[in-house]
Homo-oligomer: A and B are copies of this chain.
Amino acid sequence: MAKDKGEKGVALKVPKGTRDWQGTDVVLREKVFATITEVFKKHGGVTIDTPVFELKEILTGKYGEDSKLIYDLADQGGEICSLRYDLTVPFARWLAMNPQTQSIKRYHIAKVWRRDNPAILKGRMREFMQCDFDIAGVYDPLLPDAEILKIITEVFANLGFNGKYTVKLNHRKVLDGMFQVCGVPEDKIRAISSAVDKLDKSPWEEVRKEMIEEKGLEPTVADKIGEFVKNEDELKIGAPCAERSKKVLATLQSNADLMANPVAKAGIDELTTLLSYLDIWGCLDFIALDMSLARGLDYYTGVIYEVISEGSAPTKTNGKNVSRAKKVVDADEDRSSDPSVGIGSIAAGGRYDGLVGMFSKKGQIPCVGISFGVDRIFSIIKRRIEDAKTSTDIVRATETDVYIMALGGKGCLTERMQIAKQLWDAGLRAEFSWKVKPKLPQQFKAAENGGVPFAVILGEDELARGEVKIKEMGLPEGHAEKEGILVKREDLVEELKKRLKNTDTTLAGTLAALQV
């Protein structure tokens, strides 16, 4: 058939901006997902799986300029479809389609696609995973918002990030009211807001210049904004920030102009309630109220937040750097179209009360949510493990417990297969060589390559006596059981289970083993 294709030389590569996930990378990534999923379930989360493509018109008009980055499917007859750009719009479409569901806590861990200029060195891919938790429904104010922030702190605690991340928090109403108080014309508010959002990367002077020269703002208005958004107190990532946030809030509350603006006052009151809830949950030290946070997306209507971490330093994946230090920012990065994983940002979200109403005449469903940039989080954790690791690999590619080996020239294939069945039936994870007469060194090598902790060795003499040998791999010279111990075949499962340490293969267990 296409046998000759090989000779013709098909391009052997994955599409630009995509990658294969394999080996310990995929094992570690699944541990990250499992850790995050467990937190979601602790808070009553349920998952919804939507198709990877949607009708094109569902996505139309939701992403502003970034709509050009949407992947379309070819028109092969029938409906016109596009690959999803994020998990939020499909969720809003689902809510509008399922009006019987008036409230839900849903999580979704899945791929999204963006025809962005890929920058693999910077971890910007065209295919990447998002990990979203959203709460939809009408509740008393700020309670779901507070729980989302609590979830964020639990996720990062369980991922071993305590002391290494900070949640920046702001409120769209405070920003909008502040812009009104400063005298920003209504039609310039979104443009000025996105200029403010650059303060994490650019000094105030540059942002001020952009506001005046590019966005046409009066210098006096820009200077008024500056008074609000310039932080005297530099934000130190990972440092406890409860006091800092309370100070920022007190400053807002004591500003008579702001408090006289009904929009700003509503936002400040909401932040006050929110911080009081977060105080009950003891997570204020992770959450920094920050007037310079604005977030790019148009659809936010209330609280907004973004998680920043110091850990985004270079790490190797398949021989290539996929992440980089926050400081090596270049101009290109500013055009990052990924709302959830900007520079140094590893999660982001906010309240969006209007999105579902864009699909349904019947009514709005208010929503609040968070999107974790799991690929970037993965890179940070991977680097930490690489930095900390000793001679043994902490993350194994397989989870095999036992390798069954033959000693001697006859190969004992039938007996190896019988023992494999005995172990599988008992729920143990076991492998053996698919050679009729395998060589002992090759069998040991296979077990070592897989990091398999135990070998069961079959010798003809021992088998004749109904015995097999259990050998723990990697024991030091001189250890009492270095040469292995003989057990009866019928006792094998029990003896192995006794020895198979209850190894904690969760991410928490891995991080604990690293003592990081």
**Is A512 located at the chain interface by the 8 A CB criterion?**
no
Select one of B3, B52, B76, B140 contacting A354, CB under 8 A.
Answer: B3
Copies in the complex: 2
Please judge, given known A-B contacts A73-B71, A74-B73, A298-B1, whether A431 and B54 are in contact too, CB under 8 Å: no
- Among A46, A54, A140, the one with the most B-chain Cβ atoms within 10 Å of its Cβ is A46
Q: CA separation between A485 and B355, bound complex, in Å?
A: 45
Q: Is the CB of A57 within 8 A of B10?
A: yes
Q: Is the CB of B400 within 8 A of A44?
A: yes
Q: Could you give, for residues 186-219 of chain A, a 1 whenever the CB lies within 8 Å of some chain B CB and a 0 otherwise?
A: 0000000000000000000000000000000000
Q: Could you give, for residues 33-49 of chain A, a 1 whenever the CB lies within 8 Å of some chain B CB and a 0 otherwise?
A: 00000000111111111
Q: Is the CB of B96 within 8 A of A61?
A: no
Q: Is the CB of A20 within 8 A of B2?
A: no
**Is A445 located at the chain interface by the 8 A CB criterion?**
no
Q: Is the CB of A44 within 8 A of B398?
A: yes
Q: Is the CB of B54 within 8 A of A15?
A: yes
A357 surroundings in chain B (CB, below 8 A): 3, 6
Q: CA separation between A41 and B30, bound complex, in Å?
A: 14
**Is A314 located at the chain interface by the 8 A CB criterion?**
no
Q: Is the CB of B72 within 8 A of A76?
A: yes
Select one of B79, B111, B280 contacting A418, CB under 8 A.
Answer: B280
Q: Could you give, for residues 86-97 of chain A, a 1 whenever the CB lies within 8 Å of some chain B CB and a 0 otherwise?
A: 000000011011
Q: Is the CB of B22 within 8 A of A48?
A: yes
Q: Could you give, for residues 110-137 of chain A, a 1 whenever the CB lies within 8 Å of some chain B CB and a 0 otherwise?
A: 0101010000000000010000000001
18 residue pairs A–B, Cβ–Cβ below 8 Å: A10-B58, A11-B55, A15-B51, A15-B79, A19-B51, A41-B400, A42-B424, A42-B430, A44-B430, A45-B398, A53-B127, A72-B76, A73-B83, A74-B75, A280-B414, A280-B417, A280-B418, A281-B421
